[in-house]
C-alpha cells in the first residue's frame, strides 16, 4: 500500500487534512502556490463569531505542519497528474514528481472580483472598497479613512456582491458575507462611534448559533441600520463621497443615500486553480462551478474520480469551522480508501 | 378561451422577461417612473409571478401599467435577468386587445397616441413629422421651434434637408408605393387590428360616458381624455 | 475616477464595427429637430473619411416610438424592420448604420428575439412576403451611427481644426456625455464600453481634447418615457427626470452636454428652456444654460464646418458660449438667415432667451 498523499492547497482545509493523516502515519506532501500557508485566512484580521484574531488560527496551522511526515512545497504549482492503476503521479512546475496513493484537492476559493459588478464602480470610484480590502487594511494596522483622509461619518455595506446573481453567473449564496458584514459594521462602529452604519441586504442569513446575537448587537449597540434592498447603482459625488441607490423594499420606496465609504461584501467563487485541476483530472463540477462530490450526503469528500478527494471551499462556500470539520471528514475518507485498496 | 395568464405566457417577450423575482428592488431603485409616480416595477413582477387571474385583470384596468417610461434601465441590473419594462409592454398589449385600457385615466390616453403617432406613421412614413409638433400643444419646444415650425420650408432648406420632396435625404417625402407597403405590413401583422381595437373600445367607453353617439364624433371624448 | 478601472471595463466591450459600405437608417426625431446632424454625418463619412454610405429614399421609420408607446404590435415592428433589411439586401449592402438609439435598441431586441425564437423570424419573413413580396438577409453588422464616428475618432482628430479645449485658458473643456438608455442598457455587449461606463462618446471627447464629467445621475434616463412625453398631461415625468440630471451635473459646471440619442438631445435642450420659464433656474456656468449637442454636430464643429451650416440655430439653448471657448469663428448675424442669406421669418430671441 502506498502510504503517501499529495494535498493541493495549504489553507485551512489542506493543513487540517494533512495533520490528521500525518498523525495516522501517512507521508503528506503539501503543494502550495503561494509563499505562505493559510489561504484566504493569511490576510484576514478578525474572525466571526467571536472576533478572535485570525493570527491565532494561522499559528495553529503553523504548529500543525511542524511534524516530520509533512513536507510543504511553497511557491509550487501542480502541472500534471496521471494515474497508474492505484498510484497517482503528481508533477509540479519545480520538476518534482510524487507517486502517491491519493490526492486531496483543497484549493479553497477566490474572493469575487468586484470589478465585474460594474454598477458598483469598484476600481473606478476611490471610496468603494471590498470586505477583503477592509480586512487587509485592518490587519496591516492602517487607518481607515476616506481617500480624502477623512474619518468616515457614514459607511454602507453591500451584501451579496457576486452572490445570488445570475448576471455574474453566481446563483448561489456565499454564506459567510452576511455575518462578515455584521462583524465589519461592528468593528467600524467601534472605531468610529459617531458614524452611522447601513447594511443593504436581500435576506440576512444568520445561520450560525451566535450570528443572530451579533446582528442584534449591531442594531442595538453599534449604530447599524439594516435596509432590505439590494444596492442597484453606485456613483461618485463631486466631493468623492458615494451616492447609492436602492429600494427599501419593506416600505416599498426608492432610496438615494450619500455615504463616505462603501464596502462591498464579496462572495466566494472558484478560480483557475480548481478549473485547472478539474481539467487535468476530468472531475465533475456543479453548475455553480464548484467541484462536485460523488454523493452530497454520503460521500461529500469524494470527487467523481476514485482516489481523488476534496475538502473545504472548493466544494461549496463554508465558514472556517465548517471547513475544519469538513477537512476532518475528508481525512477519515482518505484513510478508509487507502486501507481498503 | 385562454386565460390572461396563459396569453401572457404565449408572448415570447414575456417568457424572456420573467424567470422568478427575488424581490431585491434593484429595478425600483433606479426606475425613472418609480420616483415620479406611485409605481414599483418590483411589485409588477410580483403580481404577474403570482398568476392570479383577478389580480392581473385588475392590473390591466389600472393606471399602474401605464406609468412605465420604457427606458429598460431595470433590465441592466436585475440579478435574475428579468425585465419588467418588457413585461409592461406585454401587459399593455393585452390590456388594449381586451379593452381594459379604457377603464383607467392613463390607459384611455392610448387613443391620443394612436391618433397622433399612429396616423403619422401611416401618413408620412415617420413617427414624427414637423407638421405634428404644433407649438400650441408643445409650449416646451420654445420660441426657436416656433420659428422653425412657422418657416419650415426655409429652415429645413437651410439645413440641406429635403422636406416633403421626392428623393433621398432628411425628411424627404416618402413615396406612395412605400407608404402602401407600410400599410400592408400593418394590415398583415396585426397593426391595423390594434388601431381598430383602440378606436372601438374608446368609442364604447365614450358612449358609456355619454361623450359620443357615433364613432365619427369623438371630439368631446378626446377633449375629455386630454384634460382628465 | 481611476482610469485603470475604466480601461478594464472598456476592454470587455469592444464590438466589431464595419469599416465601410453602410446602409443608412435615419432617425425620426433627429431629422425633425437636428437635420444638420444627419446631413453632416453623411458628409463626414463620405467626404472626410472617404466611406461609402447608401441613403435609400425607400426606407421608413422603424415605428419604434409607436412600439414603445404601445400602439404598434411587436409582430408589426418586426415586419417593418424586416423590410428595412430587405431594402438593404436588395441594395447589395450588409452593414447598417442606425441614426437613432431607439431604433438601435429595436434592432438589437429583434435580432436577439430571432436568435432565441426562430419561429418569430419565420413569421416576420412570412408577413413581409405577404405584404410586400420582399425577402431579406440579416445584416452582418449593425452599428449605431455614433459607433462609426467613435471608430474613426482618431482620424477625425488628425483632421480637426478645433479642439475641445478652452482657448482662453488652454484647459480641456468639461463635457457631460449622455448615452440614451436603449443604446446599451438592454444589451450591454452591443454598446462600446457596455452599459455602466459607455465609451462611445467619452472616447470621442477624449480623442478631441476634452474631459468627460462623471456626475452622479450620469446613467439616469433623460425622461423621454415615450407616452410620458407624447401625451401632454404626462410631460411632468419627462421634465422631472431631465431636471434631476441637470441638478446633478450643475456642480461640475460643464461646458456642454453631448448626446448619443436624438430624443435625449432634444429633451436636455428643451427642458432647460422650460425649467427656466417655469422656475427661473439655469444649470450652467455663470447662471447660463448648458449647450446641448449631438455627437455628429460636435464632430462637424471639430472638423471646422460652419456652425450655422451644421444647424446649431435649431437648438433652443444657445451654443455660442461653446463656440467662443473653442475659438470657432462664426458670424452671429447669419444665424437666422436662409440659404440665400436672407432673414427667415421674424425671429427675434427676446426675453430670457437672449441670454440662454
Give Cα C280 to chain centroid, integer Å: 28
Task: Name which of A164, A228, A245 is nearest B30 (Cβ-Cβ).
Answer: A245
Residue C305: CB atoms within 10 Å: 19
Cell of C100: 437613432
Residues of C in contact with B142 (CB under 8 A): 270, 273-274, 316, 353
Using DSSP's 3-state secondary structure scheme, residue B221 falls into: helix
**Digit-coded pLDDT (tens) for B18-62:** 989 999 999 999 999 999 999 999 999 999 999 999 999 999 999
Who's near A237: CB < 8 A, 6+ residues apart?
A243, A258, C216
Q: How far apart are the first and last CA of chain C?
A: 31
Q: Does B36 contact C240 at a Cβ distance shorter than 8 Å?
A: yes
Closest Cβ opposite residue B189 in set C79, C116, C234:
C79
Testing the interface with A: which of C184, C185, C187, C196 to mutate, by most A Cβ within 10 A? C196
Mean pLDDT of A164-168: 96
Residues B113 and B160 in one domain: yes
Using the structure block, give the residue that is written with the C-alpha cell 509550487.
Answer: A76
Facing residue for C8 by CB, picked from A123, A233, A238: A123
Cell numbers 493541493 correspond to A8
CATH of domain A114-267: 3.50.50.60
Check: CB of residue A256 under 8 Å from CB of residue C244: no
Angle at alpha carbon of residue A264, lines to A261 and A269, rounded to 5°: 160
B83 and B116 co-located in one domain:
no
In this structure, the answer to whether residues B223 and B114 fall within a common structural domain is: yes
What one-character-per-residue DSSP string does C47-99 give?
IIS---EE--TT-----HHHHHTTSS-HHHHHHHHHHHHHHHHHTT--EEEES
Q: Give the ranges where chain B is alpha helix by DSSP (H).
A: 4-10, 12-17, 26-30, 41-50, 53-60, 73-77, 84-98, 105-108, 110-113, 119-124, 142-150, 152-158, 176-188, 191-208, 219-227
On the 0-12 / 13-18 / 19+ scale of CB atoms within 10 A, C155 is middle
Nearest to A238 among C8, C197, C252 (CB): C252
Looking at the structure, do residues B165 and B223 belong to the same domain, yes or no? yes
Distance from CA of B210 to the nearest CA of C (A): 23
Same domain, B151 and B87: no
Q: CB distance A232–B27 less than 8 Å?
A: yes
Closest-CA distance of chain C to residue A195, Å: 23
Mean per-residue pLDDT, B121-136: 97
Is the pLDDT at A2 greater than 90? The verdict is: no
Q: C270 is written with which cell numbers?
A: 428643451
For C:192-251, CB contacts with A below 8 A are 194-197, 214-219, 251
Last residue of a domain, which of B86, B101, B116?
Answer: B101
In the numeric block, the cell 420616483 is attached to B35
Please say whether the beta carbons of C272 and C288 come within 8 A. no
How crowded is residue B222: how many other Cβ atoms within 10 Å of its Cβ? Answer: 17
Q: How many angstroms separate the CA atoms of A74 and C309, rounded? A: 70
Q: Assess C343–B contact: CB distance below 8 Å, yes or no.
A: no
| Total number of domains constituting chain B | 2
Q: Report the C-alpha gap between A77 and A71 in whole angstroms.
A: 15
Q: Which residues pair with A58 in a beta bridge?
A: none
Query: CB of C96 within 8 A of CB of C141?
Result: yes
* A188-245 pLDDT tens trace: 999 999 999 999 999 999 999 999 999 999 999 999 999 999 999 999 999 999 999 9
Q: What is the mean pLDDT of residues B193-197?
A: 98
What ipTM was estimated for this complex? 0.98
Tell which residue, C114, C81, C93, C124, has the closest CA to residue C24: C93
Mean pLDDT by 10 residues, chain C (356 residues): 89 97 98 98 98 98 98 98 98 98 98 97 98 98 98 98 98 98 97 97 98 98 97 97 98 98 98 96 96 98 98 97 97 95 77 44
For the stretch B16-26, pLDDT in tens is 999 899 999 99
The minimum CA-CA distance between B226 and chain C, rounded to whole Å, is 7
Residue C174, beta-bridge partner list: C211
**CA atoms of C71 and C198, how far apart (whole Å):** 31
Contacts of A121 in chain C (CB under 8 A): 5, 196
Place of cell 446563483: A171
Q: What is the pLDDT of residue C222?
A: 97
B83 and B115 part of one domain: no
pLDDT confidence of residue C1: 65
Strands of C211-213's sheet in order across: C211-213, C174-178, C256-259, C292-294
Q: How far apart are CA B53 and CA B51, in angstroms?
A: 6
Is residue B219 located within the same domain as residue B131? Answer: yes
Picking from B19, B22, B28, the nearest residue to A247 by CB comes out as: B28
DSSP one-letter code for B118: I
Asked if residue B152 has pLDDT above 80, the reply is yes
Residues B60 and B128 placed together within one structural domain of the fold: no
pLDDT at C356 (0 to 100): 43
Alpha-carbon distance A234 to A231, whole Å?
Answer: 8
- Local structure of residue C257 (DSSP, 8 states): E
CA distance C68 to chain B (A): 6
Please judge whether A247 and B40 are an interchain contact, meaning their C-beta atoms are less than 8 angstroms apart: yes
Pull the grid cell for residue B10.
404565449
Query: What's B91's domain CATH number?
Result: 1.10.1060.10
Q: Which of B29, B34, B79 has its CB closest to that of A229?
A: B29
Question: In whole numbers, what is the pLDDT of chain A averaged over residues?
Answer: 97
Residue C116 C-alpha cell reads as: 432565441
All three cell numbers of B207: 358612449
Q: Taking a C-beta distance cutoff of 8 angstroms, is the pair C44, C302 a contact?
A: no
Q: Which residue has the cell 504548529?
A: A63
- Residues of C whose CB is below 8 A from A125: 1-2
Domains defined for chain C, CATH in brackets:
17-145 (1.20.1050.140), 153-355 (3.40.50.11810)
Regarding whether B68 and B31 lie in a shared domain, the answer is: yes
Does residue B112 sit in the same domain as residue B51? no
Burial profile C250-272: b = 16 or more Cβ within 10 angstroms, e = fewer: bebebbbbbbbbbbbbbbbbbbb
Using an 8 Å Cβ cutoff, are A108 and A314 in contact? yes
A96: Cβ–Cβ under 8 A, 6 or more apart, which residues? A73, A76
CA angle C336, C341, C344 (to 5 degrees): 40
Domain boundary among B101, B129, B154: B101
Residue A81, beta-bridge partner list: A90
Q: Which of B101, B129, B162 is the last residue of a domain?
A: B101
Instruction: Give yes or no for a contact between B154 and B101, defined as CB atoms under 8 angstroms apart.
Output: no
Render pLDDT for A56-68 as a digit per residue (tens, 0 to 9): 999 999 999 999 9
Q: Are strands C292-294 and C256-259 parallel, antiparallel or unpaired?
A: parallel
Give tens-digit pLDDT for B61-106.
999 999 999 999 999 999 999 999 999 999 999 999 999 999 999 9
Residue whose C-alpha cell is 409607436: C66
Q: Is the pLDDT of residue B179 over 70?
A: yes
What is the 3 state secondary structure string of chain A?
CCCEEEEECCCHHHHHHHHHHHHCCCEEEEECCCCCCCHHHHHCCEECCCCEEHHHHHHHHHHHCCCCCEEEECCCCEEEEEEECCEEEEEECCCCEEEECEEEECCCCEECCHHHCHHHCCCCCCCEEEHHHHHHHHHCCCCCCCCCCCCCCEEEEEEEECCCEHHHCECCCCCCHHHHHHHHHHHHHHHCCCCEEEEEECCCCCCCCCHHHHHHHHHHHCCEEEEECCCCEEEECCCCCEEEEEEECCCCEEEEEEECEEEEEECEECCHHHHHHHHHHCCCECCCCCECCCECCCECCECCCCCEEECHHHCCCCCHHHHHHHHHHHHHHHHHHHHCC
Average pLDDT over every residue of A137-157: 96
Are the CB atoms for C183 and C242 separated by under 8 Å?
Answer: no
Query: Taking CB atoms and an 8 Å limit, are C251 and A119 in contact across chains?
Result: no
Cβ contacts of A236 on chain C, cutoff 8 Å: 1, 214, 216
Residue A340 pLDDT class (50, 70, 90 cuts) = very high
Same topology for domains A4-109+270-339 and A114-267, yes or no?
yes
**Could you give the 3-state DSSP secondary structure of residue C218?**
coil
Q: Look at the domain A4-109+270-339 and name its fold.
A: FAD/NAD(P)-binding domain (3.50.50)
Q: Where are the beta strands (DSSP E) in chain C?
A: 22-25, 53-54, 95-98, 141-144, 174-178, 211-213, 256-259, 292-294
pLDDT of res. C349: 59
Q: Where are the domains of chain A?
A: 4-109+270-339, 114-267
Are both B163 and B219 inside the same structural domain? yes
User: How do residues A241-259 score in pLDDT, each as one tens digit?
Assistant: 999 999 999 999 999 999 9
3-state secondary structure C165-213: ECCCCCCECEEEEECCHHHHCCCHHHCCCCCCCCCHHHHHHHHCCCEEE
Residues B50 and B82 in one domain: yes
What's the grid cell of residue B72?
A: 429598460
Give the Cα separation of B184 and B195 in Å (integer).
Answer: 14
Residue B44's domain comprises 4-101
Amino acid at each position: 500500500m502506498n502510504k503517501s498523499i499529495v494535498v493541493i492547497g495549504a489553507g485551512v482545509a489542506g493543513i487540517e487534512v494533512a495533520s490528521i493523516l500525518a498523525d495516522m502515519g501517512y507521508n503528506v506532501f503539501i503543494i502550495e502556490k503561494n509563499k505562505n500557508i493559510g489561504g484566504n485566512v493569511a490576510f484576514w484580521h478578525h474572525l466571526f463569531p467571536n472576533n478572535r484574531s485570525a493570527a491565532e488560527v494561522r499559528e495553529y496551522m503553523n504548529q500543525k505542519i511542524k511534524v516530520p511526515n509533512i513536507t510543504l512545497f511553497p511557491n509550487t504549482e501542480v502541472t500534471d497528474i496521471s494515474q497508474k492503476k492505484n498510484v497517482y503521479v503528481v508533477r509540479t512546475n519545480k520538476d518534482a514528481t510524487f507517486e502517491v496513493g491519493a490526492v486531496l484537492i483543497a484549493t479553497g476559493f477566490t474572493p469575487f472580483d468586484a470589478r465585474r459588478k460594474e454598477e458598483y464602480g469598484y476600481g473606478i470610484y476611490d471610496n468603494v472598497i471590498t470586505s477583503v480590502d477592509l480586512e487587509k487594511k485592518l490587519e496591516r494596522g492602517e487607518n481607515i479613512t476616506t481617500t480624502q483622509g477623512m474619518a468616515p461619518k457614514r459607511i454602507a455595506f453591500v451584501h451579496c456582491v457576486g452572490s445570488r446573481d445570475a448576471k455574474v453567473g453566481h446563483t448561489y449564496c456565499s454564506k459567510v458575507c452576511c455575518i462578515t458584514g455584521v462583524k465589519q459594521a461592528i468593528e467600524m462602529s467601534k472605531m468610529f462611534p459617531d458614524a452611522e452604519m447601513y447594511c443593504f441586504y436581500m435576506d440576512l442569513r444568520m445561520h450560525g448559533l451566535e450570528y443572530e446575537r451579533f446582528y442584534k448587537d449591531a442594531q442595538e449597540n453599534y449604530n447599524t441600520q439594516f435596509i432590505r434592498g439590494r444596492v442597484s447603482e453606485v456613483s461618485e459625488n463631486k466631493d468623492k463621497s458615494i451616492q447609492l441607490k436602492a429600494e427599501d423594499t419593506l416600505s416599498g420606496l426608492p432610496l438615494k443615500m450619500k455615504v463616505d465609504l462603501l464596502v462591498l461584501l464579496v462572495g466566494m467563487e472558484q478560480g483557475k486553480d480548481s478549473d485547472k485541476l478539474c481539467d487535468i483530472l476530468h472531475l465533475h463540477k456543479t453548475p455553480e462551478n464548484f467541484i462536485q462530490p460523488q454523493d452530497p450526503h454520503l460521500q461529500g469528500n469524494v470527487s467523481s474520480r476514485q482516489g481523488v478527494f476534496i475538502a473545504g471551499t472548493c466544494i461549496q462556500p463554508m465558514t472556517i469551522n465548517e471547513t475544519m470539520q469538513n477537512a476532518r471528514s475528508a481525512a477519515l475518507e482518505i484513510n478508509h480508501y487507502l486501507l481498503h485498496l | 378561451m385562454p386565460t390572461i395568464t396563459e396569453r401572457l405566457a404565449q408572448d415570447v417577450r414575456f417568457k424572456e422577461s420573467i424567470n422568478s423575482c427575488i424581490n431585491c428592488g434593484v429595478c425600483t431603485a433606479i426606475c425613472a417612473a418609480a420616483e415620479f409616480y406611485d409605481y414599483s416595477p418590483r411589485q409588477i413582477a410580483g403580481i404577474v409571478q403570482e398568476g392570479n387571474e383577478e389580480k392581473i385583470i385588475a392590473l390591466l384596468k389600472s393606471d399602474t401599467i401605464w406609468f412605465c417610461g420604457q427606458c429598460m434601465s431595470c433590465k441592466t441590473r436585475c440579478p435574475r435577468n428579468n425585465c419588467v419594462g418588457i413585461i409592461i409592454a406585454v401587459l399593455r398589449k393585452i390590456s388594449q386587445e381586451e379593452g381594459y385600457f379604457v377603464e383607467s385615466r392613463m390607459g384611455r390616453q392610448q387613443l391620443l397616441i394612436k391618433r397622433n403617432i399612429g396616423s403619422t406613421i401611416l401618413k408620412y412614413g415617420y413617427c414624427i413629422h414637423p407638421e405634428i409638433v404644433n407649438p400650441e400643444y408643445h409650449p416646451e419646444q420654445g420660441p426657436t421651434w416656433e420659428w422653425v415650425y412657422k418657416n419650415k420650408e426655409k429652415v429645413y432648406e437651410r439645413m440641406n434637408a429635403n422636406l416633403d420632396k421626392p428623393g433621398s435625404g432628411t425628411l424627404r417625402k416618402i413615396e406612395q408605393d412605400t407608404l402602401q407597403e407600410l400599410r400592408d405590413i400593418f394590415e398583415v401583422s396585426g397593426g391595423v387590428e390594434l388601431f381598430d381595437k383602440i378606436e372601438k373600445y374608446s368609442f364604447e367607453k365614450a358612449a358609456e360616458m355619454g361623450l359620443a353617439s357615433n364613432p365619427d364624433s369623438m371630439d368631446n371624448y378626446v377633449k375629455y381624455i386630454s384634460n382628465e | 475616477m481611476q482610469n485603470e478601472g475604466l480601461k478594464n471595463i472598456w476592454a470587455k466591450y469592444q464590438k466589431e464595427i464595419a469599416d465601410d459600405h453602410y446602409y443608412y437608417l435615419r432617425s425620426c426625431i433627429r431629422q425633425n429637430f437636428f437635420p444638420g446632424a444627419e446631413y453632416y454625418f453623411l458628409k463626414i463619412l463620405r467626404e472626410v473619411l472617404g466611406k461609402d454610405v447608401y441613403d435609400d429614399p425607400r426606407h421608413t421609420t422603424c415605428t419604434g416610438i409607436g412600439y414603445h408607446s404601445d400602439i404598434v404590435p411587436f409582430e408589426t415592428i418586426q415586419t417593418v424592420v424586416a423590410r428595412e433589411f430587405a431594402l438593404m439586401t436588395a441594395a447589395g449592402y450588409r452593414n447598417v448604420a442606425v441614426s437613432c438609439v431607439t431604433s438601435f435598441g429595436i434592432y438589437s431586441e429583434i435580432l436577439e428575439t430571432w436568435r432565441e425564437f426562430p419561429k418569430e423570424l419565420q413569421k416576420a419573413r412570412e408577413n413581409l412576403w405577404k405584404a410586400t413580396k420582399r425577402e431579406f438577409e440579416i445584416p452582418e453588422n449593425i452599428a449605431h451611427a455614433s459607433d462609426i464616428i467613435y471608430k474613426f475618432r482618431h482620424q477625425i482628430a488628425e483632421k480637426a481644426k478645433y479642439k475641445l479645449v478652452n482657448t482662453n485658458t488652454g484647459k480641456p473643456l468639461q463635457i457631460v456625455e449622455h448615452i440614451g438608455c436603449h443604446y446599451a442598457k438592454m444589451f450591454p455587449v452591443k454598446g462600446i464600453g457596455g452599459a455602466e461606463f459607455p465609451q462611445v462618446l467619452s472616447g470621442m471627447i477624449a480623442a478631441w481634447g476634452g474631459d468627460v464629467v462623471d456626475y452622479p445621475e450620469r446613467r439616469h434616463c433623460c425622461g423621454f418615457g415615450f407616452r410620458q412625453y407624447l401625451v401632454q398631461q404626462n410631460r411632468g415625468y419627462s421634465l422631472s427626470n431631465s431636471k434631476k440630471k441637470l441638478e446633478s451635473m450643475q456642480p461640475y459646471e460643464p461646458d456642454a452636454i453631448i448626446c448619443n440619442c436624438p430624443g435625449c438631445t432634444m429633451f436636455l435642450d428643451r427642458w432647460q428652456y422650460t425649467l427656466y420659464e417655469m422656475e427661473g433656474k439655469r444649470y450652467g456656468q455663470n447662471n447660463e444654460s448648458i449647450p446641448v449637442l449631438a455627437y455628429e454636430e460636435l464632430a462637424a464643429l471639430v472638423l471646422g464646418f460652419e456652425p450655422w451650416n451644421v444647424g446649431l440655430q435649431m437648438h433652443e439653448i444657445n451654443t455660442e458660449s461653446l463656440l467662443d471657448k473653442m475659438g470657432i469663428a462664426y458670424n452671429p448675424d447669419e444665424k437666422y438667415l436662409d440659404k440665400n442669406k436672407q432673414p427667415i421669418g421674424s425671429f427675434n430671441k427676446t426675453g430670457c432667451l437672449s441670454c440662454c
